Structure 1
Amino acid sequence: MKVIKFILGSALGAILILVAIGFFLPSNWRVERSIIIKAPPEKIYPYIANIKTGWPQWNSFDKEDSNIQFTYTGPEGGEGASRSWTSEKVGSGVQRITKANIHSGIDFEVSTEGAGFVVYGSINMEPHPEGTKVTWRDTGNMGANPIYKIMGYLMDSMLGKNLQKSLEQLKGKVEAEAP
């Protein structure tokens, strides 16, 4: 009986410590990855600005569930292009391009059902001696909830690999096509 009380007391103590730490963590989070692509922005832009035919060719998220169902609204690409998805594995949500420029990149928003927060993303392009530096940045705000703030603290480890893998696939697609 003493062992059970000790285990339960220790577990409760650990949970309380985590919640207390969560109160002191920042609400805002940011994940960023970059890659150099040996091509001008004009060759990269169709892949990042077209969420119907461009994104599925390189974005790892699109491949996480083979049964994912996408619905598209608005223009096929650029500002106002939007897609929603339903998936038993990754959940449901909406992505919308809010700003697009063939030379500098795109801004977008992603909201997921049930999570209650919005991811603000951008894929920026800037000149680089070897081609174009492409930077994917996702940011968000977890609010005051200490558990969500802990999740925000872990966001880099949760999203970073996916962003890097996606950028590497984008690089492969663009450079394979570039003359």
Structure 2
Amino acid sequence: MGSNSHPAALYQLRIVTRILALVILLLVLVGFLLPTEYRVERSVSINAPLDVVSENMLSGQNLSQWMHVQGGRVESFDGVLQNDDSIRLLYDESDEIGELTLLEHTGNIIRFDVRPKLSTGLVHNRITLEDHASVTEVKWTIEGDLSVGLLSPYLAFFANDIAGQNFEVSLLNLKQQIESQN
């Protein structure tokens, strides 16, 4: 009786492993079809004129306070970021650093690249400021391409949720900071 139960158990195990192998193969195949590019966009309305928002966003003390970096911070500095200036991103529990480089700052457009860690790719950021009387609409958009192996398409697929939370925290910090100064 004991010897007859082993073939049945082995048969069931074989079925389970084949189904598991098919599921894994299906996930890999779907991953090859999904794009690795992503786009995330968030916005906030700030009760302050556009020039006040624009001036305060890139000042050394303000930037390090409002911009949220998961597990780290933007290095504080004196003055205001100018085009082609770079500042470091410092992480609390690691010696790794990242970098934020300001590419363009016109009256209502701020473009900057972020390399979260020096071993990762660039994330292209664009902040657009829209003046609506005494309220400024701040729209933050990032675009990028993940190339970190088989998980890239899945990470890109969930980038809106993952990165979006960081932007929501940053934009809320910016709103509170500027509105409390006025």
Same fold (TM over 0.5): yes
Tell me the TM-score range normalised by the shorter chain.
Answer: 0.7 to 0.9
Q: TM-score, normalised by structure 1?
A: 0.79
Q: Does 1:95 align with 2:100?
A: yes
From 35, 48, 60, the equivalent of 2:44 is 35
Q: 1:14 to 1:113 in 2, by over 3 A?
A: farther
Any gaps of 5 or more consecutive residues in structure 1? none
Deviation at 1:96, TM superposition (A): 0.5
Q: 1:44 to 1:85 in 2, by over 3 A?
A: same
3-state SS in 1 of match to 2:136 = strand
CA distance in 1 between counterparts of 2:47 and 2:180 reads 10
Give aligned-pair identity as a percent: 23
From 125, 128, 132, the equivalent of 1:124 is 128
Which runs of 4 or more aligned residues in structure 1 lie more than 6 Å from their structure 2 counterparts after TM superposition?
A: none
Correspondence 1:52-67 to 2 at 5 A? 52-61=60-69, 64-65=70-71
Report which of the two structures shows the higher radius of gyration computed on alpha carbons: 2
Aligned counterpart, 2:4:
none
From 133, 143, 148, the equivalent of 2:137 is 133
Listed one character per residue, the Cα deviations across residues 110-157 of structure 1 (whole Å, up to 9, x for unaligned) are 113375321000111012256111001111012595521221111001
Q: 1:171 to 1:16 in 2, by over 3 A?
A: same
From 37, 54, 57, the equivalent of 1:48 is 57
CA distance in 1 between counterparts of 2:74 and 2:37 reads 30
Aligned counterpart, 2:176:
172
Q: CA RMSD in A?
A: 3.0
Q: Does 1:111 align with 2:115?
A: yes
Q: Which amino acid aligns with 1:54?
A: N
